[in-house]
Structure 1
């Protein structure tokens, strides 16, 4: 029985066959410890990791692949960037659509380092007014943290404009690319992104347990984790060289071998093609839902640019119940609830109800979308 998968915003599935094959080959043939030995298997593992860095650098237009440090996921990368950069009494700006992976580290630093935080208010569709951003800067502002796209609404932030403002103020820009890496074009040099946190398991089509952080060469972060790196082992302190300084312990070599193939797949297909396909699919979903009585579609309007996310709620039926019926009766996998973004729900006005989130991926097709629309229509007839 087919599963209609609409939870790509949480983790993409299925993966390209090249990803699976690369992981299997790594485990079977060279799953030694990268950077910890000079024998052939260890060297091949190290080369695979560096090849993955090179592919990511090509995708994001990063000059030096060694400015990319691998992480477990975007949350891991954001914690390193936020906690490793912000100092006591700094002022930080972010937005009212941020994920808890940004909000919680910031609020932790408010309690422990007495930092100031300004949340720039977005409108109900998740759109950010650059004029409001401009008003948020203070004399002690050191960092702007911005979700490139809302994981609830799919709204894409104007990071080019924000980056220009940050440069003018001497403020560093950290972009959370959890929903855009691999699906929306990102050029860190052209835009002026100082730090970019990204997942391997979503739009980059790699496995779970992979991700990374790009850090501008002029920025020095305080490492969160200290330990073995395979380099400068005689030193008491963490190595001074990148990426070793931020990569203590054994890395996920099979996962990174898979991620390497996922990024290669994207580069072949092109991000522009992927973004257009996902946008067309979201428009098809929205067109189907907007004609249904009792269904409210959240986020940008039909025809506007967004990522592959369509969130909605239905009158008279709980979001979790909707998701349960879709799963059990129609074999449709969606996400329901608060999506780890209470700020986003406050902004969208859905704090009391939550929302159902259907998110598409590169392997979603029109048949899948039509089945989703049909299923929601049936739920509307029988349960609302």
Structure 2
């Protein structure tokens, strides 16, 4: 038996439509969108356009040309941060961020005269809104936060934080890697200026496609980050300053975008809230089962409604790397061990430098998978 419980890294399996869509583009369309006036190239253009529209609908966004495609969310966050940050800015982030936020910010500190404050979260990974308010300075220009932790799933109070940012004229950038497709994400309600997304996690698309939504206010701060061919105003030696071309140099991953479109259509047909409800039930089942094992420590909230279905554990009987290895080798259970590219989060929850064993539930897991995973963990620990 094989059970995949590493959906926070990438969802698997994907809906059948996603596989079909990627293959169909490569086999039957093949052309480079935006680079030709013949039928296949125009069909590629239509797919790109339709995917931008689908993302607008999913995220309640209102500007088609402000939907930007990149290779992944790490590239998206780098483009946003490195194209907007100016000397003198004070930036606030949190102690549970992924390295795709922390590393660019630390890199910017080396090249620009900026301040970066890392807001300390609780041991459950939650931002204290009152402490956030106290951290704001007269020169605070940017807040960048994840919507949900990739280590313990904690969902942050971003609507409240977004309102505070708006009241103080602070730009607000959201990393939705762990939330988009898994829980409702509303650009308008979150009061953000940019929302970075990845296609291959809960949006159920293939790897190698991501992007971001950016409002006009933040776009005015941004300079082009990667320059090159756009298929537009090719006579000019200067990068276009209009969207999306300003940020979309080079060939887009059209097969990936086609697959992403299929994934979003699947999600919207199922309903994000319905997907969340099913995953939350499985998450609570798993947490309750793990809580009955004396040697297991579960990190983060024990109430599944306060988190995405990402569960990190350790056992006092065995190292998490060895436990993960045995689960895979003997039981066919695929989960992730280590620091999960988020060392500050592990410092926050007290698991640095050993990390955790992380299980993450996806839309195609079921109760039998959870029962089997609990049986496997119990069986291994009973021998120790």
TM-score, normalised to structure 2, is: 0.98
Question: Are the aligned partners of 2:178 and 2:201 in contact in 1 as well (CA < 8 Å)?
Answer: yes
Question: Are the aligned partners of 2:317 and 2:381 in contact in 1 as well (CA < 8 Å)?
Answer: no
Q: 2:35 matched to which residue of 1?
A: 36
Shift of the alpha carbon at 1:303?
4.8
Q: 1:204 matched to which residue of 2?
A: 203
Shift of the alpha carbon at 1:352?
3.5
Shift of the alpha carbon at 1:240?
1.7
Question: Are the aligned partners of 1:277 and 1:362 in contact in 2 as well (CA < 8 Å)?
Answer: yes
Q: 2:25 matched to which residue of 1?
A: 26
Q: 2:274 matched to which residue of 1?
A: 273
Q: Across the two proteins, how many residue pairs are aligned to each other?
A: 382
* Gap change, CA 1:241 and 1:367, over 3 Å in 2: same
Shift of the alpha carbon at 1:218?
2.2
SS in structure 1 at match of 2:293: coil
Shift of the alpha carbon at 1:382?
1.2
Q: 1:345 matched to which residue of 2?
A: 346
Shift of the alpha carbon at 1:316?
2.9
Counterpart Cα distance in 1 of 2:235 and 2:227: 14
Q: 1:229 matched to which residue of 2?
A: 230
Question: Are the aligned partners of 1:153 and 1:310 in contact in 2 as well (CA < 8 Å)?
Answer: yes
Which whole-Å deviations, capped at 9, do the CAs of 1:180-216 have from their partners, x for residues lacking one?
A: 0011111111221110001100000000001111000
Q: Which runs of 5+ in 1 are unaligned?
A: none
Q: Which runs of 5+ in 2 are unaligned?
A: none
Q: 2:50 matched to which residue of 1?
A: 51
SS in structure 1 at match of 2:179: coil
Question: Are the aligned partners of 1:279 and 1:305 in contact in 2 as well (CA < 8 Å)?
Answer: no
Question: How large is the Cα RMSD of the aligned pairs?
Answer: 0.9
Q: How does 1:82-101 map to 2 (within 5 A)?
A: 82-101=81-100
Q: 1:62 matched to which residue of 2?
A: 61
Is 1:250 matched up with 2:251?
Answer: yes
Question: Are the aligned partners of 2:171 and 2:218 in contact in 1 as well (CA < 8 Å)?
Answer: no
Q: 1:133 matched to which residue of 2?
A: 132
* Gap change, CA 1:275 and 1:304, over 3 Å in 2: closer
SS in structure 1 at match of 2:217: coil
Counterpart Cα distance in 2 of 1:190 and 1:149: 16
Which whole-Å deviations, capped at 9, do the CAs of 1:63-89 have from their partners, x for residues lacking one?
A: 012111001111010001111111122
Question: Are the aligned partners of 1:79 and 1:101 in contact in 2 as well (CA < 8 Å)?
Answer: yes
Which whole-Å deviations, capped at 9, do the CAs of 1:248-267 have from their partners, x for residues lacking one?
A: 10011111101001000011
Q: 2:308 matched to which residue of 1?
A: 307
Q: 1:105 matched to which residue of 2?
A: 104
Shift of the alpha carbon at 1:304?
4.1
Shift of the alpha carbon at 1:157?
0.4
Counterpart Cα distance in 2 of 1:146 and 1:345: 16
Counterpart Cα distance in 2 of 1:302 and 1:181: 20
Q: How does 1:155-304 map to 2 (within 5 A)?
A: 155-220=154-219, 221-304=222-305
